[in-house]
Amino acid sequence: MSSATANENCLGWAARDASGVLSPFKFSRRAVGKDDVSIKITHCGICYADVIWTKNKYGDSKYPVVPGHEIAGIVKEIGSNVQRFKVGDHVGVGTFVNSCRDCEYCDDLLEVHCLKRAVLTYNSIDVDGTITKGGYSNSIVVHERQDFYHDVTSPLLCAGITVYTPMMRHKMNQAGKSLGVIGLGGLGHMAVKFGKAFGLNVTVLSTSISKREEALTLLGADKFVISSDQDQMAALAKSLDFIIDTASGDHPFDPYLSLLKTSGVLVLVGAPSEVKFSAASLLRGRITISGSATGGTKEIQEMVNFCAAHGIHPNIEVIPIQYANEALERLIKSDVKYRFVIDIENSLK
């Protein structure tokens, strides 16, 4: 049944200002509407987006910010119209919790590109006018269309889909072709896993030699190249069909574009503060540069099914909520292998 009133007993961890420091925070969740699902959160992944909005890096943070948009949990209540789920179902929630469901993109199940703007899982305006709050909390209310059965770990709902969507759109699933992956964090290690599952020859491009062994042995990459080594980069010139750039720090683009074959594609999924490259880098090689966010409900379900069929899951480090501040600082320093996941159920009390 639907709740008549809001849930006033939600506990989370929130940042109150641009320091980004999180601490316990009690707040109300909106009432469960007829098309909504209320979820007891069991786990939540930590994403670089959590750094961006807790620290107000885009200048639009709506404090207090409760971050987290890689959510796994169990249905505890459903609205009267809900057909897809029942109480007790294991579900996942990604980067958005609602959309207009009426524009051309929503009709194509690409809700993340909703013309009226999708309601993001946190730091967004919800249907009742309140500010959405994310998965560093013990419950959440979402429209049933934004839930997914989950047989895999919560980071797939952001890190996974963020790389899977552009890889499929740009046909980076053609066995035998070559893929370069810039950065080996939460997104990068998933790009390597998808690339190998697609039958690609995968080269990891990193500034850190310490990641070489894991890239080659743990993740199964075919090559590992130190991107600051000019000789190694020169040896790779015009050898890659695709590059997926997961790096969030500022970095040069021309050296990477030189690695692409004619008509090669570079997809940017990280969040550097600026993107600069020479026009000649595009013109000479007929290069395409593309950007991509996460994905819509159809793509997410397709990815979840693909991961289940191929045994793909993120490499994670499970932490208690009390470690969240340190985890965010380690994330900034790229000191995680490869995704932190908060054990909400057992540590948020």
Rounded (5°) CA angle 63-14-61: 30
Helix (H) or strand (E) holding 75: strand 71-78
What is residue 1's predicted lDDT score, i.e. its pLDDT? 40
In CATH, the number for domain 10-158+295-343 is 3.90.180.10
Q: How far apart are CA 145 and CA 142, in angstroms?
A: 8
User: Is CATH 3.40.50.150 what the domain over 159-291 is classified as, yes or no?
Assistant: no
Q: What is the pTM of this model?
A: 0.88
**Residue-by-residue pLDDT tens, the chain, 349 positions:** 444 455 568 999 999 999 999 999 999 999 999 999 999 999 999 999 999 999 999 999 999 999 999 999 999 999 999 988 999 999 999 999 999 989 999 999 999 899 988 899 999 999 889 999 999 999 999 998 877 666 556 888 889 999 999 999 999 999 999 999 999 988 999 999 999 999 999 999 998 898 899 999 999 999 999 999 999 999 999 999 999 999 988 899 999 999 999 999 999 998 888 889 999 988 988 999 999 988 888 899 899 999 999 999 899 999 999 999 999 999 988 888 889 999 999 999 8
- 150-153-155-160 Cα dihedral, nearest 10 degrees: -70
The full length of the chain comes to 349
Q: What is the pLDDT of residue 8?
A: 61
Which tokens go with 329?
Answer: 């600082």
**Do residues 293 and 267 make contact, with C-beta atoms less than 8 angstroms apart?**
no
Q: Is 45 helix (H, G, I), strand (E, B) or coil?
A: strand
Give the three-state DSSP class for 326: helix
In the chain the first and final C-alpha atoms are separated, in Å, by 26
Q: Are 317 and 341 in contact (CB under 8 A)?
A: yes
Q: Which of 137, 155, 47 is nearest to 92 (CA)?
A: 155
Q: Domain-by-domain residue ranges, the chain?
A: 10-158+295-343, 159-291
